[in-house]
Chain A
Amino acid sequence: MANLTIGCFPGLVGSMTYDFALKLAEAAVDKGHTVSIWFSGNATGSVKANQKHLKDYSTGETHLKRLLEKGVEICTCEACTVARGVQKPDGIEGVQWNAMHWYLAKIHGADRVLQIGGE
C-alpha cells in the first residue's frame, strides 16, 4: 500500500475541484492507501463546522468527517484559515491546524503527491 498526499487549494463553494480532491482521497483510502490532505488558500474555509447543505452548493463537512473516520489525516493552514475568520473552536473536530511545513513533511513521506492549485 502506498502513501498519497493531496494539496487542495480551491474553495469549497465556487469550484468542484474541491469535491474532486475529496472523492479521490476517499477512493484511495478505500483501497487501503494512506492519505493526507493539506488545505491552503480558499480551501481552508471548508473546515468551518455547521455547514448547511443547500442543494446548489457542495458541502464539505459530511465528507470531511467521513474521511477522518476512515483515517485520512486532514490539516488546514492556520494562517489561511484565521484570515478567513474561522477560529479553531469553530472548526470541524479532528481537522488539524498547522503551518505550511506540515504539508512539506507529508510530501517527504509520500509516494505520490497531487498539488491542486486554487484558480
Chain B
Amino acid sequence: MKLGVFVSDYTLPWDTLDRIQADTLGLILVQNGIYHAVSRQGMQPSPLLGKTDQVYVLSEDVETRGIDASSLDAKAKVVTYSDVVDIIMNDFEKIAWMG
C-alpha cells in the first residue's frame, strides 16, 4: 500500500498513524502540521519525521505562519499546491487526512 497522509495538526491525539503499515508512506504537512518540520534550538524533532523520508511541507502554510524555510528539517521538501496535486496523483495509491 502506497499511502499519502495529510497531517494538519501539531498535536496528534490518536495513534492510527503509529499502527498502519504502508510499503510507502508519505507525509504531507499542511496547516499546523507544518510545525512537525520546524527545527529550532532546544526543540525536540517531531517523532513524525522518523516515520518516513518522504516528508512534504506546503509552502503557503509555512509562509502564512512566518516560518523561514531555512528552519525546516532537512528531510522536509517544500511544495506548492500544484506540487501536492502531482504528489497525490503520482506517488501514492491512497490518501488520508489526519486531523
- A66 to B98: give the CA distance in the assembly, Å: 28
Contacts A2-B89, A112-B88 given; indicate if A24 touches B81 (C-beta within 8 A).
Answer: yes
Mask for B65-76, Cβ within 8 A of A = 1, else 0? 000000000000
Cβ of B6 within 8 Å of any chain A Cβ, yes or no, is yes
Q: Is the pair A114, B85 in contact by a Cβ cutoff of 8 Å?
A: no
Would A114 and B6 count as touching, CB distance under 8 A? yes
- Is A33 among interface residues, defined by CB-CB distance under 8 A? yes
Which B residues contact A (CB, under 8 angstroms)?
6, 8, 30-31, 60, 80-82, 84-86, 88-89, 94-97, 99
Interface stretch, picked from A15-23, A43-51, A85-93, is A15-23
Given contacts A16-B31, A17-B8, A20-B31, contact A27 B95 (CB under 8 A): no
Q: Which residues of B contact A33 (CB under 8 A)?
A: 85, 89
In A76-119, which residues have CB < 8 Å from any B CB? Answer: 111-117
Contacts A16-B31, A20-B30 given; indicate if A27 touches B97 (C-beta within 8 A). Answer: no
**A98 to B59 alpha-carbon distance, docked (Å):** 35
Return the 7 tightest CB-CB contacts between A and B, nearest first. A27-B81, A28-B85, A116-B97, A27-B85, A27-B82, A2-B89, A114-B95
| Total inter-chain residue pairs, C-beta < 8 Å | 45
Which residues on the B side are within 8 Å of A31 (C-beta)?
A: 82, 85-86
Cα A1 to Cα B60 with chains together (Å): 25
Within the complex, which residue of A2, A28, A117 is in contact with B97, where a contact is CB–CB below 8 Å?
A117
Q: A26-B81, A31-B85 are in contact. List 18 more A-B contacts (CB 8 A).
A: A2-B89, A4-B89, A17-B8, A20-B8, A23-B60, A24-B84, A27-B84, A28-B85, A30-B82, A31-B86, A33-B89, A112-B94, A112-B95, A113-B95, A114-B6, A115-B97, A116-B97, A117-B97
- Contact residues in A for B6 (Cβ distance below 8 Å): 114, 116
Query: What CA separation (Å) do A34 and B8 show in the bound complex?
Result: 24
